[in-house]
Structure 1
């Protein structure tokens, strides 16, 4: 004679078991699907308990909270993009200290003659210099200025980057940073193509502009950022050897993109937030193409 473990002792009534763990007896039901659940599968609900599957299904139907500018509200989430950018700049700086060839090969220059006597620069097809230069901080001739340069830029990125990344979201913030740096390189290319430059300052000035624009939009205190901007603009034009084109180009590009982010109408906000960086990139690309055609047709050299 055999006995069925699923029958209550002394009766023919089946013992209820958890639908996910058939070997576990339980008398608690999910308040949503009415299936029996064991303590491991219970999730507290407003009334009673729900099973794991019902909780997951319910979460899929809940709208994710968003910031005023459309980014997912992530509370105290780590500013991954900000810290990654700082890390990249630090690693590249170490590479520059190891070999100045890194600077010569990736610094921003529109058109010129390299160390080996060959033509170099954006006009010669080295368009990547428009972007790579924003991660360099060592001047071609070296010098102690570089350590001050990278320390200030990374401090500024660390100070205002997390707040902007939180309110904008990661991809908007990254687009803002990269396009601001690119805007600075493009203005240098347009205005002084034979001059060389390095540094993330164009991107940083773009963040300054964005902080001001978004701060005004959200009703925050913008006095400190205005003071910081004024001081840095004075230094930009007063101290020899600083590329004002990079700073001003980044400032204007960052301000324009931030305005699109901050003042896009709610009903088309998502579309505007995608279209704005694409449009800025297209305009910058056209300006580079026009200037390149001018330089290559005119045979401009250092």
Structure 2
């Protein structure tokens, strides 16, 4: 006589394992290796995966992704700045690192890379030589200058502040909004240096963007009703530094500060309904205004 088939339920993924536990979503039998504890009962791996796909990602108070807490954008920006100065040293020699510039000789010298990418209005490198600069069609300088530095000390001062402020702001804004803030502040500072300084005066450095981050941190904290007593002295010290040290681009620092503040207001105070749209349109408007200012300056130089 043949035995009656077993009626004990088995795991749908492991048919050799008997179980009396069922997935609370799909009702399939699951063994201990396949079950994931849920708010009510247990779920199978497929239902757990489907639930994760259907969940909306967590957002910050300003609509940014929580991925910003890992500071990936801040790390990437620091990495780009470090890579650029290494490249500058490779093409310009060891004096590009330190020992040939201002600040008691601690700054580095210019290199072919800094010449190529620094803010320069309209001038030649040597008397009677070819004219270079933004007004000569070298528009990339408005962007590349924020990643160039005259030596390790120049780089270190900016990267310390970028690391401290960048991680904080990226955690609140998310990586995309934070990167937009950084780039627009840097661009704003470079445009200001182009517009308000002599056309043969070069300028470079991440300080244009970093000044924007200082202003943004103050505005974000005000929006969140958090303390700003440690940020205001930081801003004051950097402003004193800007106005008291020779050969610093005052226009670049102040331009980055103002544009960073404007972008931060757009990101922090955009109304919750359709927040992302307002933020994108506001940032795009700032970008267009900066380009318009650069075009007007170019026309004035070439007139």
Whether contact under 8 Å (2:188, 2:290) holds in the other structure is yes
**SS of residue paired to 2:66:** coil
Q: 1:131 aligns with which of 122, 137, 143?
A: 143
Answering whether residue 93 of structure 2 is matched by residue 82 of structure 1, we say no
Counting matched residue pairs gives: 282
In 2, the alpha carbon distance for the partners of 1:279 and 1:252 equals 15
Answering whether residue 134 of structure 2 is matched by residue 122 of structure 1, we say yes
- TM-score of the pair, normalised by structure 1: 0.88
Measured after TM superposition, the shift of residue 209 of structure 1 is 0.5
Answering whether residue 99 of structure 2 is matched by residue 107 of structure 1, we say no
TM-superposition CA deviations, 1:211-245 (whole Å, max 9, x none): 01111111111121111111111121121110001
Answering whether residue 248 of structure 2 is matched by residue 242 of structure 1, we say yes
**SS of residue paired to 2:205:** coil
Q: 2:260 aligns with which of 241, 254, 257?
A: 254
Match of 2:12 in 1: 19
In 1, the alpha carbon distance for the partners of 2:152 and 2:55 equals 49
Match of 2:238 in 1: 232
Match of 2:102 in 1: none
Q: 1:276 aligns with which of 266, 282, 294?
A: 282
Match of 1:44 in 2: 37
Over the aligned positions, Cα root-mean-square deviation in angstroms equals 1.9
**SS of residue paired to 1:123:** helix
When Rg is computed on C-alpha atoms for both structures, the one with the higher figure is 1
Larger mean CA deviation between 231-240 and 162-171 belongs to: 231-240
Whether contact under 8 Å (2:67, 2:175) holds in the other structure is no
Measured after TM superposition, the shift of residue 14 of structure 1 is 4.5
Match of 1:189 in 2: 194
Larger mean CA deviation between 58-67 and 263-272 belongs to: 58-67
Measured after TM superposition, the shift of residue 15 of structure 1 is 4.7
Whether contact under 8 Å (2:184, 2:259) holds in the other structure is yes
Measured after TM superposition, the shift of residue 260 of structure 1 is 0.7
What residue ranges of structure 2 are gaps of 5+ in the alignment?
Answer: 93-110
TM-superposition CA deviations, 1:94-121 (whole Å, max 9, x none): 2222211111111110111135911111
Match of 2:170 in 1: 165
TM-superposition CA deviations, 1:53-89 (whole Å, max 9, x none): 22222233333332211113348x4201111111111
- TM-score of the pair, normalised by structure 2: 0.87
Larger mean CA deviation between 279-288 and 44-53 belongs to: 44-53
In 2, the alpha carbon distance for the partners of 1:27 and 1:231 equals 69
In 2, the alpha carbon distance for the partners of 1:82 and 1:33 equals 43
